[in-house]
Structure 1
């Protein structure tokens, strides 16, 4: 789609939309007009091809890149501007490191163009989050261990992007800052607890891209303020 900011390296702000959550048309329209750089579709509970496709159709042609966080092979549909395939670096089971990803390519690899697919190294850091439960993530980590996971993903696995996932709570800016210092040339995403302008600016100071999700469904004005804060 010509003219869109298709290269995720240029994204400073992303709204993450959950196909399993209700979002009124008026709210979606406000998000589209907000000035965000991209939409990321993804979630943990109740995600399937049907509700993913429904949400994708509502965004299709909106003039903003729409990416899919491919967390389960059954969720794959064609047509997205970009596909992020997560590998949870601190998962407690190998399936979330290199299991579901292999099955996704086995079933749907013919749908992907290499330039539209990005491996994303997740470090899940909120033990109370659903994603931590599902992936059996080891979340009780020292600062040194978090940094080591980031360095492993970036230097050893050569992942194009890293994602610090605090899903449902605001993380430690000090931890995020140390990861930034350890891997300064990695493209770093942050998600979790960004509920307004102040939180957005605090984390955006240390990462390339902030991902705003839950607040969309709890406080739309707060979600919109996160875009304005970075402009």
Structure 2
């Protein structure tokens, strides 16, 4: 699965309600892929339930496998996050090791990608869960990104603002510093204008929360990359 061709991704939370008509509209939207993942209340049962609804939809469905218990076979691709600015080693390599220990033999390594997350919203739940040092200077963000790409050889980086709109200058500087890295951006995209702002520099924009608040606004974001 060549995720490097993706320009637009809808991120769906297994712990949030989405009716069949809304899901069908997302499938028809022209998005490049669906990413399944969340922070609160996500477990194997609701993850599988959402996967089953999307199975056979004709669009790649990827799993953000942030916890070993979320490992479910059948997804088109698996992203294993490592939070580069986490406050505990568990979120850098601990949970990831457990996932491979328990389930590594079940998956095709060609469909598994390490993804270096940099959490940049100190108020976000993911920042609290991972103990992330999320208040960073621009230079520190770039340095974390360079560490992930050059030292850990991570092919994918994710600038995670989770619920708030980040700085396009941060995305721009990370991409300028690492033109060969595939940069995902997620957080605060609530319509065409914010989608265009971030798509100018990010390789892939991730649209999530607005799906549940303003479906039409979410669908409109696809136009920006088409």
- TM-score w.r.t. length of structure 1: 0.97
- Aligned counterparts of 2:25 and 2:102: Cα–Cα separation in 1: 36
TM-aligned CA deviation for residue 230 of structure 1: 1.5
Deviations 1:121-178 (A, max 9, x none): 0000000000000000001111110000000000110001000000000000111111
- Aligned counterparts of 1:196 and 1:87: Cα–Cα separation in 2: 28
User: Are positions 1:110 and 2:105 aligned together?
Assistant: yes
- Aligned counterparts of 1:173 and 1:228: Cα–Cα separation in 2: 19
- Aligned counterparts of 1:145 and 1:118: Cα–Cα separation in 2: 24
- Aligned counterparts of 1:154 and 1:131: Cα–Cα separation in 2: 22
Where in structure 2 are the equivalents of 1:37-76 lying within 5 Å? Answer: 37-76=32-71
- Aligned counterparts of 2:224 and 2:143: Cα–Cα separation in 1: 31
TM-aligned CA deviation for residue 10 of structure 1: 0.4
Which of 112, 126, 131 aligns to 1:131? It is: 126
Counterpart in 1 of 2:198?
Answer: 203
- Aligned counterparts of 2:9 and 2:92: Cα–Cα separation in 1: 24
Which of 137, 140, 143 aligns to 1:142? It is: 137
Which of 95, 101, 105 aligns to 1:100? It is: 95
TM-aligned CA deviation for residue 37 of structure 1: 0.2
Counterpart in 2 of 1:154?
Answer: 149
User: Any stretches of 5+ residues in structure 1 without a counterpart?
Assistant: 1-5
CA RMSD of superposed structures (Å): 0.5
- Aligned counterparts of 2:155 and 2:93: Cα–Cα separation in 1: 16
User: Are positions 1:30 and 2:30 aligned together?
Assistant: no
- Aligned counterparts of 2:78 and 2:23: Cα–Cα separation in 1: 21
Deviations 1:79-135 (A, max 9, x none): 000000000000000000000000000111111111000000000000000000000
Where in structure 2 are the equivalents of 1:140-219 lying within 5 Å? Answer: 140-219=135-214
Moved over 4 A (4+): none
Count of residues paired in the alignment: 226
TM-aligned CA deviation for residue 228 of structure 1: 1.4
Where in structure 2 are the equivalents of 1:69-84 lying within 5 Å? Answer: 69-84=64-79
- Aligned counterparts of 1:194 and 1:187: Cα–Cα separation in 2: 19
